[in-house]
Structure 1
């Protein structure tokens, strides 16, 4: 049911995602030149935690593409448009994420991100 290749991919993905998320958590405010929000007395959403959340979702979205191939195939994009359910759901999830981050506000504890911040989130997502 779960092959050796799948186990390697799962462990590799877990290590990558944990490394990125913990790096953003502990040094993200310095790396991205933003306020960490850790010492704020109010409970307002911050760019720092919005970036962490958005990066996690981007890594998950791009991992969905990678997870389509489970037997060691290299070209993860081969046949990607042969399953309209997959790409419609993927596009809907990506669109929902943009709406949640840019307009979610207090309901989702997010603040709008700049284009550069979105680019970093997508960059880390593509890294999966």
Structure 2
């Protein structure tokens, strides 16, 4: 088998795996212990975007708790205004919605609310999520 044939075979296997994972995702019952992971899978969020989002959430959590954000942790996130992300004020829902929507490519407020609820239920960034969910209607 030559190199091109091997590549074609691998491409077919990858396509088959993608199809199988998609079918599995659709056909399985949600696991209530992992709503955040379920949300990531259902919204087809790649790891790179998840990592950027979680980096932003660490910063937002530190802002909520009025903790310093060290220069070593400050980095430019593509599409996010540094002024919006690194301001010293307590984050509000609207700002967080802009940040998360920009990172994840979401254009629906409900998706952001569902994400925050899923993270809270899985005990991820729970203090920040609870604060934001309690203040959604005030935004």
Q: TM-score, normalised by structure 1?
A: 0.33
Structure having the higher Rg:
2
> Whose RCO is larger (CA < 8 A, sep 6+)?
1
Q: TM-score, normalised by structure 2?
A: 0.31
